[in-house]
Amino acid sequence: MTAEPWADLVSPRVGVIRALRPQVRGSAEPEPPHLWTATLANYDYLVARRSERVTAGKGRTEAAAKAAAVGEALERYCASLPQPMFSAVAADLENAITPTECVLYADEQYARDDWPYPPWDEREPLAWLRGSRVLGGVAVAVPAALVMLVAPTALVQMTTNGLAAGPDLPSAVRSGLCELIERDALMIAWMNRRPAVEIALETGIAAALHRHHAALGVELRAFVLPTDLPATVVLALALDDTPGRAATVLAMGCHPTPATALEKALFELCQARPAENARFRDRPPAGRLTRPEDVRLLDDHSAYAALPEQREQFAFLWRGGERASITDFEGHSDVLEDCAQALADLGYPPVYVELTTPDVRPSGYRIVRVLASGLQPIHFGFGQERLGGTRLGPELNPCPHPLA
């Protein structure tokens, strides 16, 4: 039997990944999706929170879930290790994507006495990584502070936005693009309270998951978010009125094919709900997260949204009352070059930096960070929105977004 491509990376003693095991969940939870977790080794010799060491994967098969969990772990691993950098002033570079192009902060944010991120000074040298434009493969310099999870300069709050793994380079880059599109659509819809189209969960695995959760007293709902970008973005909700459980749990899915985007969102919801219920039980948000300003950490976002009294914050999604079948939505090309061209035509040309380390490369995984000029990035913590872009409206929703 042929070994899995990640087999040499998993070992309790010498592996990049210390353990690969099924995700703990109740026996009543549906399968598929299959859910697995990967635990990273202490590769950086630092004390870290569990959320920074354990990653999760889901899939229709056990093999797919394992591969996804390993890929998520390798994303964090490769993006945390040193990469070849060089220092230069932006004006001296022939081809570069600047920090400003990737949406920084507004002047009023920089003017705050407690603001932790310095404004970018284009006259000062900056650390850069060598990347490529998705269209044409032209070499481009990319700010290291927008790529690495551990960067020499903290220009922005670091997140995993656009960080992706794949079995080959095009697959990894396409996954990164889909995540950028997904997060952009969520930020715009949530912060501007834009209504969405509800999807009727009537056929296939969507109907099966809907029936299964209904028997558990949980209502599944899914919505296609409005976006001008070349993919379908689905937001899925699990609504539960059982005391002691998370009242509302959110998950996202994005893909050029609408049915695939829906499945990705529902599978992620099946993965997120048991974990969110465990956090809701072990570290109750009631009394701890009582106002938007209390939301500071990544996990605070979903915990705040899980409070029963916050359910009304989601009402804008169904305000328009529009419903449709997932087959009513037009798909987009899943060819990487087509997606990149569509983004470029809209004024958001994408670039990527490959981060695959030498020890990971033999496994076949490719790890990238993808950026697209102008798209709205995700943020975590009240008041941490990156308001230096042009895709958000003037009056923004003060309630923190619900995605962890």
pTM: 0.96
Q: Among 301, 305, 321, which residue's Cα sits nearest to residue 313?
A: 305
The Cα 386–Cα 105 span in angstroms is 5
Q: What is the pLDDT of residues 289-336, one digit of tens each?
A: 999 999 999 999 999 999 999 999 999 999 999 999 999 999 999 999
From edge to edge, which strands make up the β-sheet containing 218-224?
A: 248-255, 232-240, 218-224, 197-199, 323-324
pLDDT at residue 194, rounded to an integer: 98
Q: Do residues 376 and 363 lie in contact, with contact meaning Cβ atoms separated by under 8 Å?
A: no
Burial class (CB in 10 A: 0-12, 13-18, 19+), 192: middle
DSSP state of 10: B
Reduced to 3 states (helix: H, G, I; strand: E, B; else coil), residue 60 is: coil
Alpha-carbon torsion (16, 275, 57, 253), positive or negative: negative
For residues 154 and 38, the model is more confident at: 38
Give percent of the chain with pLDDT exceeding 70. 100
What lies within 8 Å, CB to CB, of 401 at 6+ separation is 186, 187, 190, 191, 301, 378
Average pLDDT (53-75) is 97
Q: Do residues 379 and 294 lie in contact, with contact meaning Cβ atoms separated by under 8 Å?
A: no
The Cα 22–Cα 56 span in angstroms is 9
The Cα 155–Cα 335 span in angstroms is 33
The Cα 138–Cα 135 span in angstroms is 7
Torsion of CA 379, 384, 385, 388, to 10 degrees: -120
DSSP state of 401: P
pLDDT at residue 319, rounded to an integer: 96
The Cα 272–Cα 295 span in angstroms is 19
Amino acid in position 8:
D
Q: What is the pLDDT of residues 159-204, one digit of tens each?
A: 999 999 999 999 999 999 999 999 999 999 999 999 999 999 999 9
How close are the terminal C-alpha atoms of the chain, in Å?
A: 38
User: What are the contacts of 215-220 at 24+ separation with CB within 8 A?
Assistant: 216/28, 217/241, 217/242, 218/273, 220/266, 220/269
The Cα 246–Cα 295 span in angstroms is 16
Tokens encoding 374: 């102008």
Phi, psi (deg, nearest 5) at residue 38: -120, 135
> Buried (b) or exposed (e) across 120-159, using 16+ Cβ within 10 A?
beeeeebbbbebbbbeeeeebbbbbbbbbbebebebbbbe
The Cα 158–Cα 162 span in angstroms is 11
Average pLDDT, the chain: 96
pLDDT at residue 2, rounded to an integer: 55
pLDDT at residue 1, rounded to an integer: 46
pLDDT at residue 50, rounded to an integer: 83
Q: What is the pLDDT of residues 328-346, one digit of tens each?
A: 999 999 999 999 999 999 9
DSSP state of 225: P
